Chain A
């Protein structure tokens, strides 16, 4: 369980992406319950389920009893598939019943960060695994030997791109000496968001290694940065660090090049040459040099004059496209 009071504020700031995950979970749960109810009820109820599946226009215009009479009833599930349904449902129900702090954990000093995050995603990912198991059972492809383990853990590496977009944000409290962020790059995909609340000394710019064009990366002492992370429609990591160390925000949500995306407010100098956690002084200096290099690139990017853009597209096809887009205004439904 998280102990730092900042974690509560961080969890609150991450409500939107967490709600997206919970909404998908609830929708899956609904679908599985409806399916379960449809199968255990009588023929009349099954006709009702068939009717409902046609939508409101279908219900208004189709005689469902007659339709049911001409359609073959959905094939019975195999016994193994039938048996796994309640287990999948139980997984979904247990995950749905959890509070927000299910997405947070505190590392025991010395614990491996990569493994802990991996376990947390695999645990939360059981919702995806359970949904997949239900789909497989319904489509006749369920194999207990291959698929049962997805109800116990469903590792991030097996999530599809669409599933990664709905990844729940996670918050990890840890000691600076346990901060080995490089492995976390594996989880920075889709919509996955990781917030680290760091206690104690660590290297000065450990998160700089994770900066890529489409990844939000922030190293700061200010919890408010989490709101920007939550607003970003992509992967990201924010580290809330104690005093000292570098301070920067790389926000891909800001339009433009590296100069616009990267804001560096603090680049410290190393005081002496000593280890910080697992990082040697050379590695620490490398991080700072990398940050300075990015700072230089950002400055150069901002110095490049922007070529003037024509006010309206010159090409007739572009004009047409621009006009169509304008006509298709989809504001404010």
Chain B
């Protein structure tokens, strides 16, 4: 999608006149709502995004989450909120900068400005109570911030949010977000009844009076905007041809688990993966499933393996630090060939890292985290829609190949909201009952097909199937092997399955021309931003294409041949790599992006990379700069 270009370019008037508001008609618009943590900007943004999507706009939302649970009030790092990019066409990423910003205090606003999150001519609606606050320091901070912001081309409109909210509630801190939602509803002409419904739904677990009060505040904001603002924004709606569903990535994973006929989700709470189990916990029992919160990450993996061994369809969900703890059990599942799906909602690392921020830095840990040789399938959805559908695929592949399948999503997908076509559920996605026929004499628990490594799965209690399950290296009878030959054969058989799976994969498609100067390779949630950057680069005459991988182990076939059609290949990833030109960094010692390592190893192509770890999704503008820097002859 191209950057927004207002039909009405003149600045919105300073005050409303009889001619009514100026309508800014644009193909897309990006709004940010920022507040202190706990003031509800996120809820406001979520409802605005959902309603926009339900009305038929393309939408993509990104949560702005502080790193701390209770950061200091009125501080830049404490800014909490939501960015919502809406468009006439589908929206695939959060874009570059916000066209409209609503700030509950000037410090949060200033922080967003410093992060270059605002478009150069953004309209800013900011709470004005700080200008006249009793505290001298606060008034001084306001003045300083306004001096900085006033030097920009922003149009800053002070809004008496608290003063207005006090006419309805005693605690405006708990109501400002709904007032702002009402303002946005008027500015963007949102369906007010849909908003009322969303508020009721949001507060469904509280007393009815709570929802009523919030609706009243929202309507107050709507009326205030109508009476006082002199501009509106119209992002035309083109109703999609098929019914759409609006979910965030974690909700999509949870619904995918239901659609895939999963029986058990074993987990331990960890940001940003926890909400998968929250959502599942509300609905899973209705479908015969169970969410089990284990005592820790290790136990959660163990429970899932145990259930799967017993014939159930089980998965575990976690994030980076949890994945590290599950390492030993994932090795056990690999060795015992117990089907297991592991959902890893990636965040910044290592260690506790960036719990609430996005990163794509678990790829190599997923691939090689286990000691010994532990081959497994690794997949990564590129969109929220794929989060749903990939769980179905992962479950099936895990069972067909008796292996571990890891699905890597990330915090960007987890909390982002995007509409996508309502899935047409297919009974064939559901897990078939496990084969419990009596085991014929002579069939072994690991009766490996010598060519493929595939074997029939035994379930405990199956007549004739009794055997010892062991994590020790074992032979076809599951007997502990003491000869070098046994371990060699077991490793070969487990590895062979991946090779077999690889031979069944289709080569990936190329976005753009199938040959050119630069091929950008990505994986996971960056797809939309990469393709938007590629579009812009191509519009500038650059011969750039992109390729987005979904299956990372085994790698999709034909990559070397595809790469050979481009003068240069480079990955774009949200993980760390050294930059040439930095002190001590040479071509010899430079550490690369994780996918770049992998592609080099597999294709022997000199794959370059452009990676960043800002703790937020990549912006098309940034990727475009990366593309320009990586055009043949340059290095990131």
Residues of chain A whose beta carbon lies under 8 Å from any beta carbon of chain B: 20, 27, 30-31, 34, 38, 49, 52-58, 60-64, 66-67, 70-72, 74-75, 135-136, 138-141, 162, 165-166, 319-321, 323-333
**Nearest CB of B to A1, in Å:** 31
Query: Is A57 in contact with B550, judged by CB distance below 8 angstroms?
Result: yes
- What residue of chain B has the Cβ atom nearest to residue A34's Cβ? B427
Chain A neighbourhood of B251, CB < 8 A:
330, 333
Report if A55-B429 is in contact (Cβ < 8 Å); known contacts: A61-B550, A70-B454.
yes
Q: Considering the chains assembled together, what is the distance between the CA atoms of A300 and B219 in angstroms? A: 43
Query: Is B46 in contact with A31, judged by CB distance below 8 angstroms?
Result: no
- What residue of chain A has the Cβ atom nearest to residue B437's Cβ? A140
**Nearest CB of A to B271, in Å:** 6
Query: Is B386 in contact with A57, judged by CB distance below 8 angstroms?
Result: yes
Chain B 231-272, CB within 8 Å of chain A: the 1/0 string?
000000000000001111011000000001000000001010
Q: Is B167 positioned at the interface, with any CB of A under 8 Å from its CB?
A: no
Report if A333-B438 is in contact (Cβ < 8 Å); known contacts: A63-B505, A66-B504.
no
Query: Is B436 in contact with A140, judged by CB distance below 8 angstroms?
Result: yes
Q: Considering the chains assembled together, what is the distance between the CA atoms of A323 and B278 in angstroms? A: 13
Q: Given A34-B428, A140-B438, A327-B42, 19 other A-B contacts at CB below 8 A? A: A53-B428, A55-B396, A56-B389, A57-B390, A57-B392, A58-B393, A61-B551, A62-B393, A62-B506, A70-B500, A75-B437, A138-B432, A139-B433, A165-B286, A324-B274, A330-B282, A332-B198, A333-B246, A333-B248
Report if A67-B504 is in contact (Cβ < 8 Å); known contacts: A58-B393, A332-B50.
yes
20 intermolecular pairs with C-beta atoms under 8 Å apart: A30-B427, A53-B428, A54-B392, A55-B390, A57-B550, A71-B400, A138-B432, A141-B436, A319-B69, A319-B70, A328-B250, A328-B274, A329-B202, A330-B275, A331-B46, A331-B47, A331-B202, A332-B202, A333-B245, A333-B251
Q: Is B288 positioned at the interface, with any CB of A under 8 Å from its CB?
A: yes
Residues of chain B whose beta carbon lies under 8 Å from any beta carbon of chain A: 38, 42-43, 46-47, 50, 65, 69-70, 197-198, 201-202, 204, 245-248, 250-251, 260, 269, 271, 274-275, 278-279, 282, 285-286, 288, 356, 379, 381, 386, 389-393, 396-397, 400, 423, 426-430, 432-438, 452, 454, 500, 503-506, 508, 550-551, 556
Chain B neighbourhood of A54, CB < 8 A:
392-393, 396-397
Chain A neighbourhood of B356, CB < 8 A:
327
Chain A neighbourhood of B434, CB < 8 A:
139
A-side interface mostly: helix
**Of A57, A319, A323, which contacts B389 at CB under 8 A?**
A57
**Nearest CB of A to B488, in Å:** 22
Query: Is A66 in contact with B503, judged by CB distance below 8 angstroms?
Result: yes
Which has the most chain B C-beta neighbours within 10 Å: A53, A62, A323?
A: A53
**Nearest CB of B to A320, in Å:** 6
Chain A neighbourhood of B437, CB < 8 A:
75, 139-141
Query: Is A61 in contact with B50, judged by CB distance below 8 angstroms?
Result: no
Which has the most chain A C-beta neighbours within 10 Å: B245, B248, B437?
A: B437
Q: Considering the chains assembled together, what is the distance between the CA atoms of A66 and B396 in angstroms? A: 16
Query: Is A323 in contact with B500, judged by CB distance below 8 angstroms?
Result: no
Query: Is B278 in contact with A327, judged by CB distance below 8 angstroms?
Result: no
Query: Is B260 in contact with A139, judged by CB distance below 8 angstroms?
Result: no
Report if A53-B396 is in contact (Cβ < 8 Å); known contacts: A75-B435, A320-B69, A332-B47.
yes
Q: Considering the chains assembled together, what is the distance between the CA atoms of A70 and B400 in angstroms? A: 10
**Of B69, B260, B381, B428, which contacts A52 at CB under 8 A?**
B428
**Nearest CB of B to A314, in Å:** 13
**Nearest CB of B to A71, in Å:** 6
Q: Considering the chains assembled together, what is the distance between the CA atoms of A71 and B356 in angstroms? A: 42
Chain B neighbourhood of A135, CB < 8 A:
433
Query: Is A61 in contact with B505, judged by CB distance below 8 angstroms?
Result: yes
Chain B neighbourhood of A140, CB < 8 A:
435-438
Query: Is A61 in contact with B556, judged by CB distance below 8 angstroms?
Result: yes
Chain B neighbourhood of A328, CB < 8 A:
250, 274-275, 278
**Nearest CB of A to B628, in Å:** 31
10 A-B pairs closest in CB distance = A140-B437, A55-B392, A328-B275, A331-B202, A58-B393, A332-B201, A31-B427, A139-B433, A139-B436, A162-B288
Chain A neighbourhood of B260, CB < 8 A:
55
Chain B neighbourhood of A332, CB < 8 A:
46-47, 50, 197-198, 201-202
- What residue of chain B has the Cβ atom nearest to residue A77's Cβ? B437
Chain A neighbourhood of B503, CB < 8 A:
66, 70
**Nearest CB of A to B327, in Å:** 24
Chain A neighbourhood of B426, CB < 8 A:
34, 52, 55
**Nearest CB of A to B49, in Å:** 10
**Nearest CB of A to B417, in Å:** 8
Chain A neighbourhood of B438, CB < 8 A:
140
Chain A neighbourhood of B505, CB < 8 A:
61-63
Query: Is A327 in contact with B271, judged by CB distance below 8 angstroms?
Result: yes
- What residue of chain A has the Cβ atom nearest to residue B355's Cβ? A324
Q: Considering the chains assembled together, what is the distance between the CA atoms of A60 and B389 in angstroms? A: 11
Chain B neighbourhood of A321, CB < 8 A:
269
Chain A neighbourhood of B245, CB < 8 A:
333
Query: Is A329 in contact with B42, judged by CB distance below 8 angstroms?
Result: yes
Report if A49-B428 is in contact (Cβ < 8 Å); known contacts: A58-B392, A75-B435, A329-B202.
yes
Q: Considering the chains assembled together, what is the distance between the CA atoms of A164 and B250 in angstroms? A: 29
**Nearest CB of A to B202, in Å:** 4
Q: Considering the chains assembled together, what is the distance between the CA atoms of A45 and B204 in angstroms? A: 46
Query: Is A31 in contact with B430, judged by CB distance below 8 angstroms?
Result: yes
Q: Considering the chains assembled together, what is the distance between the CA atoms of A38 and B426 in angstroms? A: 13
Q: Considering the chains assembled together, what is the distance between the CA atoms of A10 and B47 in angstroms? A: 37
Chain A neighbourhood of B202, CB < 8 A:
329, 331-332
Query: Is A331 in contact with B43, judged by CB distance below 8 angstroms?
Result: yes
Chain B neighbourhood of A58, CB < 8 A:
392-393, 396-397
Query: Is B69 in contact with A323, judged by CB distance below 8 angstroms?
Result: yes
Chain B neighbourhood of A53, CB < 8 A:
396, 428-429
Q: Considering the chains assembled together, what is the distance between the CA atoms of A67 and B43 in angstroms? A: 45
- What residue of chain A has the Cβ atom nearest to residue B407's Cβ? A57
